[in-house]
A and B are shown apart, each in its own frame.
Chain A
Amino acid sequence: MEMNLLGAGLAAVGMGLAAIGVGNIFGNFISGALRNPSAAKEQFTNALIGAALAEGLGIFAFVVAILLYTK
């Protein structure tokens, strides 16, 4: 049995956790935007920054998974 494939699958779980973070950011952005639509446009950039930073950590997990898969 190839243990590195098992490890790759486990590492990919991290991407799902990053998805929680990104979903949280955009969900809160939309709920804030519905409360105050006039302020939403300026804050979209901040939402993108937050999502990018949260997503980056998931990408690290993905890179580890890919490294294990192609080993």
Chain B
Amino acid sequence: MASPDKVDPIHQFIINDLVNFGNFGGYKIAFQNSSLFMLVAVVLIVGFLSLAISGRAMIPGRMQSAAEALYEYIEGLIDQVLGHEGRAYLPFVFSIFTFVLTLNFLGLIPYFYTVTSQIIVTAALAVMVILTVIIVGFAKNGIGFLGLFVPHGVPIAILPLISLIEIISFFARPISLSLRLFGNMLAGHIVLKVFAGFIISLSAFGAVGIVGAIAPFGMVVAITALEILVAGLQALVFSLLTCIYLKDALHPHH
């Protein structure tokens, strides 16, 4: 850990207890800042969507257009990847997309907490996705879902090796899915705070330092713009990969 006299870029990820409910069976139960921002995200999503579609106008207003655009975007994504039968998974993918997107964007606001930079949150989301894939796969195909691990047209001699690789790659999916979102958000926010720390360090050198601090400040603005792109892109990538994994559950014989 960095020494306390330096600007610590990791400090922003510390979880604080807002309300502590005490210990239950050796586990601390507390309402924390990460819980607060997850709650804020859910309230924002539900509030926005229900407010936007409450009018149900034939000619949509601004808010309804925005909500419809969001919905149609995910709908198009599912149609493209899963085809028509993927409609059943639209609520699932749409919820994941809006939740991750809102959390990512909330984290960009200064002093706000980035929930998706906690690996436990992204891991929980990824495990939920992969359990859905496994359950849907066995429910739709029965034992035929295991055909996912037995590719067609592979010589019988190397089939055990290929199957082993397929099984490993299947169970690596939740790891890579969670680490991708977590790593992107963590890295982006650390870079942001490192450059912000340069401003503080430079301005300690008096007037010359303050003029020199314009350069890192411009960098912070530019990185914030990049992070807005990354926040949207990672939410999209997360839901896109969810669709692709669901496709394996629906059609295990590739």
Residues of A within 8 A of B (CB): 15, 42, 45, 48-49, 52-53, 55-56, 59-60, 62-63, 66, 70
Contacts and interface: CB of A to CB of B under 8 A. Distances in A.
Contact of B237 (A42, A52, A62, A63): A52
A59 B183 CA distance: 6
B183 A52 contact: no
A60 B179 contact: yes
B45 interface: no
Given A48-B236, A48-B240, A70-B10, A56 B187 contact: no
B193 interface: no
Nearest to B238: A52
B189 to A, nearest CB: 12
B237 A48 contact: yes
A68 to B, nearest CB: 12
B143 to A, nearest CB: 29
Interface string B113-146: 0000000000000000000000000000000000
B1 A52 contact: no
27 contacts: A45-B77, A45-B81, A48-B237, A48-B240, A49-B237, A49-B240, A49-B241, A49-B244, A52-B237, A52-B240, A52-B241, A53-B176, A55-B184, A56-B176, A59-B180, A59-B182, A59-B184, A60-B176, A60-B179, A60-B183, A62-B183, A62-B186, A62-B187, A63-B179, A63-B183, A66-B186, A70-B1
B30 to A, nearest CB: 22
Contacts of B236: 48
Contacts of A49: 237, 240-241, 244
B80 interface: yes
A56 B186 contact: no
6 nearest A-B residue pairs (beta carbon): A59-B183, A52-B237, A56-B176, A56-B180, A62-B183, A59-B179
B102 to A, nearest CB: 20
Given A45-B81, A59-B187, 12 more contacts: A45-B77, A45-B80, A48-B240, A52-B241, A53-B176, A59-B182, A60-B179, A60-B183, A62-B183, A63-B183, A66-B186, A70-B10
Nearest to B80: A45
Nearest to B181: A59
B120 to A, nearest CB: 14
Contacts of B186: 62, 66
A66 B2 CA distance: 12
B50 to A, nearest CB: 30
B124 to A, nearest CB: 17
A52 B231 CA distance: 13
A59 B176 CA distance: 9
Contacts of A52: 180, 237, 240-241
Contacts of B77: 45
A66 B117 CA distance: 13
Nearest to A45: B80
